Amino acid sequence: MLFDLKPKTKREELFGREKELVELHSALTKYPLTIVTGIRRIGKTSLLKTALNEFKQPSIYLDARVLDEEGYTRRALYELISQQISRMSGLLLKAKDFAKRVKGVHVGPVGIELDWSKSGTRLSSLFNALDEWASHEGKTLVVAVDEAQILRRLAGGKGRIDFTQLIAYCYDNLTNIKFVLSGSEVGLLYEFLGLERPESALYARGYKSIVLERFSKQTSLDFLKAGFEELGVTPSEELNEVVERLDGLVGWLTLFGHVASEKGLHNALQEVLKKAKGIIKKEIAHLLQRSNYYKPILKALSQGKSGWSEIKKELINQTGRFVSDAQFNRALMNLVDLSFVEHYQNGYTIPDPVLREVAKDF
Ligand SMILES: Nc1ncnc2c1ncn2[C@@H]1O[C@H](COP(=O)(O)OP(=O)(O)OP(=O)(O)O)[C@@H](O)[C@H]1O
Ligand SMILES: [Mg+2]
C-alpha cells in the first residue's frame, strides 16, 4: 500500500525510486561503502529496506536510533548486532559454524550472543568470520546502518568504539562485506566518517554516494493518484495545492494520503499540516534549547532571507544584540550539518516545507 506509514520494503510499494534502487544495487556490487543521504522523510529507510529485500544477498540492518534509546554503549551496540545477525535465520545455520570460532561468541538455539566486555568479542574478528562464511557461500554480506551519524556517539567514554575503524578494517581486508550507511543529518554523517579528514580511519577511501531528492510536482501528483487508485478512490479535490504545500516530500505526501483515505479528502490538507507541524515541533524542541540563535535564523529563512549577510542582519534585528560573524556562522553551520538548513548556490534555505511554516510563527 503506497499510503502505508511504515517504511516500504517491497519494490511495488516504492514509488518513483526505480533509478535509485538500480543505483544502490549496482553500488553494492562495486563499492565497499555506499552512503545514502537525504533530509528527513525523503524515503531513505524505504529505499534501504527495499534494496536489502530485493538484493538477493544476506544482509544485516542496524537502526542506529536504537542507541538513542538504549544508550551509546558497547553493550547496546553488541546487542543490536547480535539480534540482527540472529535474524538471518536460515543462513545462520552455516554462519554460526564460522561465528562460533570467534572469541566471546556464543551460539545458542535462538541466535548468537556476543561478549560485550572489553576483553570479549572483537567486532573485526566477528566480521572476519562472517566474511569467510560469505566467501564460502559465494555471497556478499551487506551491512546497512540507518542513521549512521548516531554511531559517532559511541566514540566517547570507557570501552569506546570507533565504528569508522571497523568499517575501514572491513573495507581494506574483507571482500565479501559491503557497508551501506544512511543519514538524515548529512553534515554530521560526513563529519563522523571523515572521508576527507586525514586523521580519520576512513580517510581517502572511495565510496558511492546516493542523494535522495524530493519528488517533482508531477511525480508527487502521480504518487497521490496511484495511492488513491489503489484504494479505489477518485480524488474529487484539487491535489495541486497539496503538492505545492508538501513540496515533494514523500513522507508528508504519504501522511496526506493516509489521513485522506481515513477521513476523506475534504480538510485533509489542513489536518495533515497540523499533524506535521506537531511532529516537527517535537523534533526541534531539543535543538532550539541548544542555541538562542536557531529560532531567529530559522525565522529569517522562513521569511525568504537567503544570503549569509541578510540572515545575520535579521538575527541581530531580532535578538537586538551584537552577534559576531563567527558566532552566527557556527549556529548556521550547525543547522546545515543537521540538515534543518540547506546550502545551495545562492544561499541558504529550509528544505522541509512544514518546518518553513513552523518557523514563520517563531
Ligand atoms: N518511494 C516511496 N514510495 C512510497 N512511499 C514512500 C516512499 N519513500 C518513503 N515513503 C513513505 O514516506 C514515509 C517516510 O519514509 P522513510 O521512513 O523511508 O523516510 P526516511 O527518509 O527514512 O525518514 P526519516 O528521516 O524520518 O527516518 C513513510 O511513510 C514511507 O512509507
Ligand atoms: Mg529513516
**196-210: pLDDT as tens digits:** 999 999 999 999 999
Q: Where are the domains of the chain?
A: 11-211, 217-280, 291-360
Is 251 near ligand 1, meaning CB less than 6 Å away?
A: yes
Q: CATH says 217-280 is which class?
A: mainly alpha
Is 250 near ligand 1, meaning CB less than 6 Å away?
A: yes
Q: What is the pLDDT of residue 326?
A: 97
Quote the ligand 2 centre to 35 CA distance (angstroms).
13
Q: CATH says 291-360 is which class?
A: mainly alpha
DSSP 185: S
- Indicate if the pLDDT at residue 272 is higher than 80: yes
Predicted TM-score (pTM) of this structure: 0.95
Quote the ligand 2 centre to 52 CA distance (angstroms).
14
- In DSSP terms, which residues pair with 114 in a beta bridge? 105
CA 131 vs. chain centroid, Å, equals: 25
- Indicate if the pLDDT at residue 8 is higher than 90: yes
Is 8 near ligand 1, meaning CB less than 6 Å away?
A: yes
Q: What is the pLDDT of residue 56?
A: 85
Is 14 near ligand 1, meaning CB less than 6 Å away?
A: yes
The whole-angstrom separation of Cα 17 and Cα 345 is 25
Start-to-end Cα distance in the chain: 37
Question: Which fold would CATH assign to domain 11-211?
Answer: Rossmann fold (3.40.50)
Task: Say which range, 12-21, 27-36, 102-111, 333-342, has the weakest mean pLDDT.
Answer: 102-111
Q: What is the pLDDT of residue 30?
A: 93
* Average pLDDT estimate for 14-19: 98
Judge contact between 300 and 308, C-beta under 8 A. Answer: no
Residue with CA closest to ligand 1 atom 30: 7
Q: Count the helices and strands in the chain (H runs, E runs).
A: 16, 9
* Average pLDDT estimate for 254-269: 93
Q: Which three cell numbers stand for residue 47?
A: 529505499
Is 4 near ligand 1, meaning CB less than 6 Å away?
A: yes
**67-121: pLDDT as tens digits:** 999 999 999 999 999 999 888 756 666 777 788 889 999 988 778 889 998 889 9
Q: What is the pLDDT of residue 135?
A: 93
Protein residues within 5 Å, CB atom, of ion ligand 2: 44-45
Q: What is the pLDDT of residue 95?
A: 76
Sequence length of the chain is 362
Under DSSP, is residue 168 helix (H, G, I), strand (E, B) or coil? helix
